[in-house]
């Protein structure tokens, strides 16, 4: 249960942090960097969602 809770917290934290970085980036920033930030935000959201589903089932 502790591992699921840790993955949940880190996953959603990464989703929020990298999502904010992608949204707040200046227009002249390289598109590769923005793509990486969006991908990391999506991975964090996926990990957070997966952990939440595991916690609901009892991990």
Q: What's residue 15's pLDDT?
A: 97
| Contacts with 1 (C-beta within 8 Å, 6 or more apart), sequence order | 55, 58, 59
* pLDDT the model gives residue 1: 84
Return per-residue pLDDT of the chain as tens, 59 residues: 899 999 999 999 999 999 999 999 998 889 999 999 999 999 999 999 999 999 999 87
Which two three-digit tokens encode residue 38?
Answer: 């969006």
- The two tokens of residue 56 are 């609901």
Cβ–Cβ under 8 Å, residues 44 and 14: yes
8 A C-beta contact, residue 7 and residue 48? yes
Q: Where are the domains of the chain?
A: 2-57
């Amino acid at each position: 249960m502790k591992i699921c809770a840790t993955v949940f917290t880190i996953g959603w934290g990464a989703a929020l942090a990298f999502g904010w970085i992608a949204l707040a980036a200046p227009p002249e920033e390289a598109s590769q960097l923005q793509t990486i930030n969006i991908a990391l935000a999506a991975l964090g959201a996926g990990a957070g969602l997966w952990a939440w589903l595991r916690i609901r089932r009892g991990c």
